[in-house]
Copies of this chain bind each other. A is one copy, B any other.
Amino acid sequence: MNDKDYMRQAIELARINVAKGGGPFGAIIVKDGEVIARSGNSVTRDNDPTAHAEINCIRAACKKLESFELKGCVIYSSCEPCPMCLSAIYWARLDRLIYASTRQDAALAGFDDDFIYKEIPLANEARSLKCEHLCLNESELPFDDWKSKEDKTEY
């Protein structure tokens, strides 16, 4: 099995997902040559806007490994991850990301991936979403608690 073989599995998952009424996206996660998780996009089926193929797959792989990190793993996605999924890949500490179609292909199919990539780097006032920074006296207290806590699990 090489990168192309794994990617064909992710693409096939995406196609099966469309046939089952889901979105046109699929992802698999491989560790030491073994596929440890696979998922399509289930946003509409699960009423969960975060249930993209990559997020579902990361959650399933973490559950399987009983870990909140996926070091040593590779994710194959049928399409370039949106910024939500790309960030999740960073948080999960995967070693490598490989994707087939692009954010521009997704845009041509009606998805907002490319739009959201353009919004993320903007200042609050330039975004189409109303974003406000409301600083209160209490704002730093959660971080103060965190810094002073001795028995915490860092992540």
B153 near A91 with CB under 8 A, answer no
Partner of A24, one of B7, B46, B142: B142
Residues of B within 8 A of A155 (CB): 23, 43-44, 49
Map CB proximity to B onto A83-122 as digits: 1 under 8 Å, 0 otherwise: 1111111111111111111100110111010011101110
- Distance (Å) between the CB of A71 and the closest chain B CB? 11
- Distance (Å) between the CB of A89 and the closest chain B CB? 7
B68 near A134 with CB under 8 A, answer no
What is the interface residue range for chain A against chain B?
A: 35 or more
Contacting residues of chain A (136-155) with chain B, CB-CB under 8 angstroms: 136, 138-143, 145-147, 149, 151-155
- Tell me the nearest residue of chain B to A46, going by C-beta: B68
Q: A43-B91, A80-B133, A83-B84 are in contact. List 17 more A-B contacts (CB 8 A).
A: A11-B136, A11-B138, A11-B141, A17-B142, A18-B152, A21-B153, A48-B62, A49-B92, A83-B83, A87-B116, A90-B115, A95-B130, A99-B132, A102-B133, A105-B143, A106-B143, A120-B120
The 10 closest A-B pairs by CB, nearest first: A84-B87, A14-B142, A24-B142, A24-B146, A100-B139, A49-B92, A44-B153, A109-B143, A96-B130, A49-B91
